[in-house]
Chains A and B, each alone.
Chain A
Amino acid sequence: MINNHKFVISLNAFLVLIILAVNAHSQAVNPLESDPRAARLGGSIFRAQCATCHGADAKGISTLDAPDLTMSWVERQLSEEEVFQTIREGIPGSIMPPHSFNDTEVWMLVSFLKSVAEVGTTNQIAGNSDRGARLFSSNCSRCHRVDGKGGSLGPELSNITGRRSQDALVRSIRNPSANITRLYKPISFITVGNESVQGTIKSEDAFSIQLMDSNQVLRGFSKLDLRELRREEQSLMPSFTESSLSDSDVNDLLSYLQSSRSP
């Protein structure tokens, strides 16, 4: 039996929202968009119903093939209505099932997902994009690709400002080792032929490793052929301190990236 004061309050808030959301079904726009309680209640539903596959932080669980929902909005450019329909109907042929939540509950989930979504920078970044292009060419383009030009050891950065906040990008430039994403984890080892190899791991099993080496060549190795295998904590990307890139330089760089086209 549930006889808990907190629960009763939550339920009351929930019922109020239901009443407010009468006739909310099948709308293209979230009718709860302006209600701050919707994201909070949606978060409760998410943790109870969705977190097993998508993770408590909605960032997905790669071993379950459950996607990072914080990136869905910008990477797949989904509308609120499309997110609503995906929750309601599921994804045929996948483990994502249809859900029988009522419309208000689905909109609460949409509100929650919107609240945790990675968002890009919408404001114009103050900087000199021409100078930023030169800085990018001299410091970044060996490993990063923009507008079809550059290297592939690091992530593609065309219009990255549309997918990441300015603060997050500055943190990545100043301290890239603080948060290295899954496909860019650094590794080093020596082969049976005494070749010293450094690169980023793309895949690994008990017997083999697949990586991109520092020359940006995709290579596979049997673990039997390797020694001194080290999983580095330092990113292959150097840290750009203020002595190497001033705040003004960084703004110029971000201004250039903002001017690039979406990949």
Chain B
Amino acid sequence: MFTNKFIKLLCISFTILPFGQSIAQDNDGPSFEDLLNGFNDPARWLTYSGDYSGRRHSPLTQITLNNVDQLRPVWTFQTGTTTRGRGFETTPLLDNGVLYVTGSNNYAWALDARTGRAFWRYRRNLPDDLTYGASAPVNRGFGMLGNQLFMVTLDAHLMSFDRRTGDVLWERELADYRIGYAATLAPLVLDNKVIVGISGGEYQTRGFIDAFDPVSGERIWRFNTVPGPGEPGSETWPDDPAVLATGGGGTWMNGSYDSDLNLIYWGVGNPNPDYYDENRPGDNLYTDSIVALDANTGELRWHYQFTPHDVNDWDSNHMPVLANIDWEGEPRRVVMVGNRNGFFYVLDRVTGEFLLGEPFTATTWAREIGSDGRPIILNDGSQGCLPDPWGSTNFYPPSFYPGLDLFILTARETCATYVPEEPANIQGQSNFGGTVFIDAEKGYGALRALDVHTGELEWEFTYPSPTFGGVMTTASGLAFAGDHEGNFMAFNAETGENLWHYQTGSRIWGAAAITYMLDGRQYVLIPSGTTLQAFAL
């Protein structure tokens, strides 16, 4: 919808720009080449995971196994906005000494990375009748290219900002928020595309992944995660256009990118309704899958479905982690996923071939993946409790430590009973299709390190409650993680020994650390509660 305000903004942006030239080319901000180079410049953190691989493994080594116990807080930024019940889930971006940070309720800031003081603030004027966005008013970060920042909103828009001022350059509607759509992820920015997904799989929605032109804001392609009638994959649904049009399959966590293959890897969420399945027999592709899409066209190259015909809300909205590893004596380009269904997976990322699937929790849902790549279901819920709808892990980032070949993730051990109930199927209202009884007494969390070749547990560190904190590793042998009780911690990545902890005062939920060098000093940042905390030696 073009508002007068928007048209004025568009006119201003065209006035500033010489014809045909992109903002990225005209200014000093990071280029696509810089984004491709990932961690090469230690004074930058330019994408959600620090590079396109999703590994969240920094090469920095000033903070070591021997001195990490001297890590101290150096500044705290107070956001003044809260998401009670959820978290401060963002990953800040850093360039030229400035942090670009998104917050809950679509607040945003540019901060001095040395002091935490703000250069500018932004707050979106959100409508009063948000749907999914009201229940989870979170945001996971900016995307950046040149002097442009990109942020998605709780009323399902994509916005572009001038990073020097926080001024809005353009905005586009992704979908009608009143139906149940919202957007919360950190945009994946490539050379000439800003790629985003959508939240709202608990509503009468149909998921998609969109690519936009960063300069004009025009949409380049859309991939629908639930096929239309007659399209490939529609045979896994009932022959009913109305069911397909509201099949869910949110894409609310950003993906990773392989520039050699020019493929993006993206997770897809649960089918709608979450727990009630009588109207949707079949595998329900591409829900609970990973899809590999051609970055230029959005065409599907391959997919792998982790949880066929999901009835437990086990979205597969995870960061796909890319690595080139030795696999049974041969070099192999793989993508790894720690999944909400309790299994750790290794797939060939060129072809989608299933290589490994092993449980990393005590889940009784399944204990092995068959030779056809499908889980062998042992417990549909009638044989005792299952992992809860938040899953055995969730969207918060894991980390891959090259060399050690460890996949380090936060696991959740939970016990839930699902009671499906036919939902009302009303637009604009959540549509879980039942309810879930969670035995809180039986829940706990754990930081776990898995051997990527076997899926075997190498070490773990347990937490008192199921935890939602992400992980970052550094080349000095450290793993940083946060827990539900508010501790920000450092571990020996090889052994799991806890080396340091700091009580931040609020749960670390959905966020993982970043690290960077400034003035010869290594900083580590973690969002927690309503604060962004910086640490250094």
Contact = CB atoms under 8 A, between A and B. Distances in A.
Given A48-B424, A206-B463, A61 B485 contact: no
Interface stretch (A32-40, A52-60, A242-250): A52-60
A7 B487 contact: no
Contacts of B278: 4
Nearest to A90: B134
B438 A55 contact: yes
B134 A98 contact: yes
Interface in B473-492: 483-487, 489
Q: Which of A4, A51, A205 has most B Cβ within 10 Å?
A: A205
Contacts of A205: 463-464, 483, 485-487, 503
A48 B430 contact: yes
A212 B129 CA distance: 45
Contact of A48 (B129, B431, B464, B486): B431
Nearest to A45: B424
B362 interface: no
Interface stretch (B82-90, B224-232, B369-377): B82-90
B273 to A, nearest CB: 9
A47 interface: yes
B434 interface: yes
B435 A56 contact: yes
Interface string B116-151: 000000000000111000110100000000000000
A61 B434 CA distance: 17
14 contacts: A1-B242, A47-B434, A52-B135, A56-B437, A57-B437, A61-B438, A64-B85, A93-B82, A94-B84, A94-B85, A98-B128, A205-B463, A205-B483, A206-B485
Interface in B402-440: 419, 421-425, 428-438, 440
B443 to A, nearest CB: 9
- 9 interchain residue pairs of minimum CB distance: A97-B134, A205-B485, A95-B85, A47-B435, A56-B435, A64-B85, A95-B84, A94-B84, A51-B435
A187 to B, nearest CB: 12
A33 B434 CA distance: 25
Contacts of B429: 48-49
Contact of A206 (B84, B436, B487): B487
B62 interface: no
B204 to A, nearest CB: 12
Interface in B429-455: 429-438, 440
Contacts of B462: 206
B465 interface: yes
Interface in B77-129: 82-86, 128-129
Nearest to A66: B85
Contacts of A94: 82, 84-85
A77 to B, nearest CB: 23
Contacts of A44: 421, 424
A56 B432 CA distance: 12
Main secondary structure of the interface of A (DSSP, over half): loop
A205 B486 CA distance: 8
A177 to B, nearest CB: 14
A98 B428 CA distance: 13
Main secondary structure of the interface of B (DSSP, over half): loop
B137 A95 contact: yes
A6 B243 contact: no
A1 B243 contact: yes
Interface string B323-345: 00000000000000000000000
B461 interface: yes
A47 B86 contact: no
Contacts of B135: 52-53, 95, 97
Contacts of B438: 55, 61
Contacts of B240: 1
Contact of B484 (A4, A56, A63): A63
A7 B422 contact: yes
A4 B243 CA distance: 15
Contacts of B222: none
B464 A206 contact: yes
B172 interface: no
A71 B129 CA distance: 28
Contacts of A16: none
Given A53-B135, A98-B134, A205-B463, 4 more contacts: A2-B279, A49-B429, A51-B435, A63-B440
Nearest to A89: B128
A206 B485 CA distance: 8
Interface string A1-39: 110101100000000000000000000000000000000
Nearest to A14: B424
Interface in B24-65: none
Given A2-B279, A95-B83, A95-B137, A206 B435 contact: no
A204 interface: yes
A52 B432 contact: yes
